């Protein structure tokens, strides 16, 4: 089975000279299609840094990081853009545009993937899949926190990504809303054969994972 992500000997630091701080130490990780991997650890342990590296949002300094069989270390801006086009991102803050409807927020994400014949209909279908068919033309201001995060999930999945990266997606949600959101992520990603790398402090969602890893002081170990 082809690997979606393959990482070996990954180091990362911030700053230089006396201010240099090592964030990641010799990280190795493989992620396969349809696999859900939870990454847990204390604040400042390197979780979000690793996520942004996998997402081609930060330059790889040392080691090997391959996404969709593309080596990101030393890659061009064009190659990094192509990798980002295949990724769906879900963050703690939903980051919805308040002047657009739920459908329009989701539809915007279709600009990063292959052209689709009817973007509005694709957006409606994905919103229906996350239980928001009645809120397609609703402004984010009138949605609950859980509903806004569902729109964010729909936005991440609408272009049928090959990988989903989620950074603390349940942190701002109550227990019930958080559970609903991760169950939706699991169901939709499994249906599309799309793996999820999910950074979280939320021990309540451990049961959705195929694998749980812990990162502490920049070192990755099985949880």
Query: pLDDT digit string (tens) for 30-88?
Result: 999 999 999 999 888 899 999 999 999 999 999 999 999 999 999 999 999 999 999 99
Q: Using CA atoms, how far apart are residues 106 and 41, in angstroms rounded to an integer?
A: 31
Q: Using CA atoms, how far apart are residues 219 and 62, in angstroms rounded to an integer?
A: 15
Q: Which helix (H) or strand (E) holds 49?
A: helix 47-54
Domain assignment present for residue 134? The answer is: yes
Its domain, for residue 41, covers 34-58+86-222
Domain assignment present for residue 153? The answer is: yes
- Residues whose CB falls within 8 Å of the CB of residue 99, separated by 6 or more in sequence, listed in order: none
Per-residue confidence band for 29, with pLDDT thresholds at 50, 70 and 90: very high
Domain assignment present for residue 15? The answer is: no
Query: pLDDT digit string (tens) for 188-200?
Result: 778 888 999 999 8
Q: Which residue has the tokens 């609703």?
A: 138
Q: Using CA atoms, how far apart are residues 208 and 185, in angstroms rounded to an integer?
A: 10
Domain assignment present for residue 77? The answer is: no
Asked whether residue 1 carries a pLDDT value surpassing 80, the answer given is: no
Which candidate, 90, 61, 77, 39, places its Cα nearest to that of 197?
39
Q: What is the mean pLDDT of residues 8-37?
A: 91
Domain assignment present for residue 79? The answer is: no
Q: Using CA atoms, how far apart are residues 191 and 197, in angstroms rounded to an integer?
A: 16
Q: Using CA atoms, how far apart are residues 75 and 68, in angstroms rounded to an integer?
A: 13
Domain assignment present for residue 214? The answer is: yes
Domain assignment present for residue 21? The answer is: no
What is residue 25's three-state secondary structure?
Answer: strand
Q: Measured between alpha carbons, how far apart are the two ends of the chain, in Å? A: 24
- Residues whose CB falls within 8 Å of the CB of residue 155, separated by 6 or more in sequence, listed in order: 88, 96, 105, 106, 108, 109
What is residue 65's three-state secondary structure?
Answer: strand
Number of Cβ atoms within 10 Å of the Cβ of 52: 15
Q: How many domains does the chain have?
A: 1
Q: Using CA atoms, how far apart are residues 151 and 146, in angstroms rounded to an integer?
A: 9
Domain assignment present for residue 28? The answer is: no
Q: Report the CATH number at residue 108.
A: 3.40.50.300
């Amino acid at each position: 089975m082809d690997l979606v992500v393959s990482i070996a000997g990954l180091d990362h630091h911030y700053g230089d000279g006396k201010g240099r701080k090592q964030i990641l130490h010799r990280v190795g990780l493989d992620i396969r299609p349809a696999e859900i991997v939870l990454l847990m650890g204390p604040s400042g342990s390197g979780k979000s840094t690793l996520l942004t590296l996998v997402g081609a949002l930060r330059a790889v300094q040392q080691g090997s990081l391959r996404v969709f069989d593309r080596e990101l270390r030393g890659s061009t801006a064009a190659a990094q853009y192509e990798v980002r086009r295949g990724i769906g991102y879900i963050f703690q803050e939903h980051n919805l545009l308040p002047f657009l409807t739920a459908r329009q927020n989701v539809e915007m994400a279709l600009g990063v993937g292959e052209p689709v014949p009817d973007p509005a209909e694709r957006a409606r279908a994905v919103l229906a899949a996350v239980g928001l068919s009645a809120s397609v033309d609703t402004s984010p201001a009138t949605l609950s926190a859980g509903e806004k995060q569902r729109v964010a999930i729909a936005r991440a999945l609408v272009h049928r990504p090959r990988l989903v990266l989620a950074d603390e997606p349940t942190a701002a949600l109550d227990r019930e809303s958080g559970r609903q959101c991760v169950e939706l992520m699991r169901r939709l990603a499994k249906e599309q054969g799309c793996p999820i790398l999910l950074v979280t402090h939320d021990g309540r969602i451990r049961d959705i994972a195929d694998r749980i890893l812990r990162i502490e002081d920049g070192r990755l170990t099985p949880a």
